[in-house]
Structure 1
Amino acid sequence: MNALVRTLLGIRRRTLPERPAPGAELAGATGLQVRLGGRAVLTGIDLTARAGEILALVGPNGAGKSTLFGALSGDLPAHRGSVRIAGRAAGAWTPAELALRRAVLPQTAVLSFPFPVAEVVRMGRAPWAGTEREDEDEAAVAEALAATGTAPFADRPFSALSGGERARVALARVLAQRTPLLLLDEPTAALDLRHQELVLRVCRERAAAGDGVVVVLHDLGLAAAYADRVAVLHEGRIAADGDPADVLGDALLSRVYRQPVEVFPHPRSGAPVILPRRTPRTPRTFRRP
């Protein structure tokens, strides 16, 4: 769509985001408190997501991971403190402007109509309609389908897919949006082992290309293997934030998860391997009849 047509249609010219410099802040929180239902769910949160890195949010159920995720995406307002996206207060952006700067993958993807998979992925290109970057639509959709392994069923209706297939299509939609910041809430929850690894490899590729990735994970092993930084949440606060090898220690994790944990380095990669401490199983003996 050329500039004249955009003007005739009354499409307001938007300032498009530029590629961020390595290490630039893409989203951040300072002194953040979020209240839901009259209760403080997050308190005193200071955190930064940067270009070129994967930041994993981990912690037990109810620790505040998804609430922090919602605040960093600009979808949940701060009761106190501040949240910034691309250098501005999150509330200062319009929804259309936010959609050019961050893409959000929620925990569940629900569609009421049987759209073909390719069209669901193409929905990720909606924020760029009327800009010069809408010419990238076809390439962005094709690239996202290929990256998530969903191209073979691009013509199938979304409603006919399995839960794991839907999860990968939802990720493809987010990738097709081509924003500098990706926020993914439990993207591996419905996936088998192979596709869990695929999703985290895609995250690593996006970070290597200069994007920032914030991902909520329950699997501490995946966080240890793929994240550049890990923030451990506990009772609405950040208990630790840093390199996985420094943060994911057995004492901290045992306290936060209220479950004895043992941590040891992987024999090849050196990445932390995290396992619950279990009582050894006693072999059963059977008497011959």
Structure 2
Amino acid sequence: MRLLRSWPVSPGAASVGDVLVEAEGLHVRFGARAVLAGVDLVARAGEVVALVGPNGAGKSTLLAALAADVPAAEGAVRVFGRPVAEWTAAELALRRAVLPQAAALSFPFTVADVVRMGRAPHVTATPLEDGRAVADAMAATEVTDFAARPFSALSGGERARVALARVLAQRAPLLLLDEPTAALDLKHQELVLRLCRERARHGEAVVVVLHDLALAAAYAHRVVILRSGRVAADGPPAEVFEDGLLSEVYGHPVEVFPHPRTGAVVVGPKRPA
């Protein structure tokens, strides 16, 4: 008797404002060490949420918990309104795409091969749909010209853009990006954050870990400032980026001022005149 396989069903289109991922009273421990302690976070369709804070604040751990890659010791993480444990890995892969800090491959895959890996969750897609998604993602991240090159032969910045292309090709409505600009030059840092805003305009939710406060101020709809595993502030950059708070969180003098041409918030370390 032949058994019929049941494929995971893709989520329907989200409406702007729908909660796609949330953490409630989230605690994460590594052994005896508490890394996150009572974190609450919500990310909605149509917004870019930046996680910022000093090294060791818990940004990457929070992102990993939202992705269901790190278990909660206490509290809850919900994706599309359901606890993450209630989704299968295949169902989660259709709902959230994750970009880790580093991308390492042991085999000589080409750039196109790596980007095509993002289509793995879409088992019912046609070759035409897969090809279009891969081509669009490569064009958006400006890696089309070296599609045939081995991934291992790329520079750090090129690898970072290819890894992002893989995430975009997955076409999940929730993007979880861990320091996507760390290895990039100025042009491509701006490109990546513009892509984040573009995905939000198309009704997706983007949660991105950033060290560059200026980028967070320029592109994030909301900023969550983490300090020692707790949320120190959560809100629009213009409201939560304040000299005193940032100076305290980072342990270094920080100044916040309006851009002389646009009036947008500008953040930087305070240096002697």
The two structures have a TM-score, normalised by structure 1, of 0.92
Residue 266 of structure 1 is matched in structure 2 by 259
Which residue number in structure 2 is paired with residue 23 of structure 1?
A: 17
1:45 matched to 2:55: no
Q: State whether structure 2 residue 7 is matched by structure 1 residue 13.
A: yes
Partner residue, 1:277: 270
The count of corresponding residues between Structure 1 and Structure 2 is 272
Aligned residue type for 1:139: R
Shift of 1:14: 1.8
Return the letter of the residue paired with 1:198: L
Which of 91, 102, 114 aligns to 2:85? It is 91
Change (3 A) 1:127 1:277: same
SS in 2 for 1:19: coil
- Give unpaired runs (5+ residues) of structure 1: 1-7, 281-289
Mapped contact 1:128–1:134 kept (Cα < 8 A): no
Structure 1 residue identity aligned to 2:221: D
Distance 1:9 1:157, change over 3 A: farther
The CA deviation at 1:16 is: 1.6
CA distance in 1, matches of 2:4, 2:160: 36
RMSD in angstroms over aligned alpha carbons? Answer: 1.2
Could you list the runs of 4 or more consecutive aligned residues of structure 1 that deviate by over 6 angstroms after TM superposition? Answer: none
The 1-side partners of 2:261 and 2:85 are apart by 45
Which digits, 9 at most, give the CA deviation of each residue in 1:232-252, with x for residues without a partner?
000110000000000111010
After TM superposition, the score normalised by the length of structure 2 is 0.97
Q: Residues 160-214 of structure 1, C-alpha deviation per residue, up to 9 Å, x if partnerless?
A: 1000000000000000000000000000000000000010011111001110000
The aligned residue for residue 155 of structure 2 is 162
2:186 aligned with 1:186: no
Equivalent in the alignment of 2:207: 214
What amino acid is aligned across from residue 171 of structure 1 in structure 2?
L
One-letter identity of the residue aligned with 1:78: A
Percent identity (aligned): 67
Closer/same/farther in 2, CA of residues 135 and 59 from structure 1, 3 Å limit: same
Question: Which residue identity is paired with 1:145?
Answer: M
Shift of 1:12: 2.0
Matches within 5 A, 1:1-289: 10-129=4-123, 131-132=124-125, 135-280=128-273
Match of 1:286 in 2: none
CA gap 1:234/1:142 in 2 versus in 1, 3 angstroms: same
Amino acid at match of 1:123: M
* Runs (5+) with no aligned partner, structure 2: none
Aligned partner of 2:49: which letter?
L
Q: Which amino acid aligns with 1:279?
A: P
Shift of 1:231: 0.1
Which residue of 2 is the match for residue 287 of structure 1?
none
- Change in CA separation of 1:81 and 1:241 when aligned onto 2, cut-off 3 Å: same
For 2:9, the aligned partner's letter is T
| Residues 44 and 140 of structure 1, relative CA distance in 2, 3 Å threshold | same
Residue 269 of structure 1: CA displacement?
2.4
CA displacement at 1:133 relative to structure 2: 6.2
Helix, strand or coil at the partner of 1:200: helix
CA deviation after TM superposition for structure 1 residue 265, in Å: 0.7
Q: Is the CA contact 1:141–1:176 (under 8 Å) kept in the aligned structure 2?
A: yes
